[in-house]
Amino acid sequence: MTFVLRTAGDPMSLVSAARSAVAEIDRRQPVFNIRTAEQYMAEQVQEPRIYMLLLGIFGGIAVALSAVGIYGLMAYSVTQRTHEIGIRLALGAGAGDVLKLVVRHGLALILIGVTTGVAGALALTRLIENLLWGVKPADPLTFAAVSLLLIAVALLACYIPGRRATKVDPLVALRYE
């Protein structure tokens, strides 16, 4: 049996009065697990909060891993294209042109990845629908914000190897092969 009491003051100050009232009716009935509505609500949302915290941590790890992976892929691609970049620089391409070349190549891969990821996320949102409060499973603002964040992180991961490619010495690159 559960009783709920509404008070104007401190609810815990009525604990002894509540115990006495129950004891007057039936002394064999135990009075236990006395808590405020705030404590009760905090207990009810504790498990979903832990799940959301874990999802956030895993999401952050996923962003970091994707940034490292994109950086590694772009660094490898730039290393493989060192000869081509050296020829471009020797023929008069500017540092900005080389940077655009590398970032444009990375951007194509990023857009393919984000498009695939958004499609997969839209398909899987029904699995976490019961953990969402006040947010639709396919919230366009959330999908747009996360997509922009991922694109920004990935562009940064492409920019660093692109900057390194602009510093390639054409003579060294041509002798390299």
| pLDDT tens track for 108-124 | 989 999 999 999 988 88
Q: Are residues 128 and 157 in the same domain?
A: yes
- Does 123 map to a domain? yes
CA-nearest of 151, 172, 160 to 75 is 160
- Does 67 map to a domain? yes
Q: Are residues 62 and 134 in the same domain?
A: yes
**Buried-state track 152-176, b at ≥16 Cβ within 10 A, e below 16:** ebbeebbbebbeebbebeeeebeee
Q: Are residues 29 and 50 in the same domain?
A: no
The SS3 of residue 13 is helix
d(CA 150, CA 144): 10
- Does 39 map to a domain? no
Give the up-direction half-sphere exposure of residue 82: CA atoms within 13 A in the CB hemisphere: 16
Higher pLDDT, 73 or 174: 73
- Does 2 map to a domain? yes
- Does 165 map to a domain? yes
The SS3 of residue 167 is coil
- Does 40 map to a domain? no
143-171 average pLDDT score = 88
Q: Are residues 24 and 58 in the same domain?
A: no
Q: Are residues 30 and 52 in the same domain?
A: no
Q: Are residues 103 and 125 in the same domain?
A: yes
Q: Specify whether the backbone of 168 is left (phi greater than 0), alpha (psi in -120 to 50) or beta.
A: beta
- The per-residue pLDDT of the chain, averaged, comes to 86
Domain count, the chain: 2
Please tell me the pTM assigned to this model: 0.66
Check whether 165 has a pLDDT greater than 70: yes
40-67 average pLDDT score = 89
Check whether 177 has a pLDDT greater than 80: no
- Does 122 map to a domain? yes
Residues 6+ apart with CB under 8 A from 107: 155, 158
Q: Are residues 59 and 130 in the same domain?
A: yes
60 in Cβ contact with 146 (< 8 Å)? no
Q: Are residues 26 and 49 in the same domain?
A: no
Q: Are residues 17 and 65 in the same domain?
A: no
Q: Are residues 58 and 29 in the same domain?
A: no
Structure token digits, residue 97: 């042109």
| Full residue range of the structural domain in which residue 9 is found | 1-34
Q: Are residues 97 and 19 in the same domain?
A: no
- pLDDT attached to residue 175: 72
Q: Are residues 84 and 13 in the same domain?
A: no
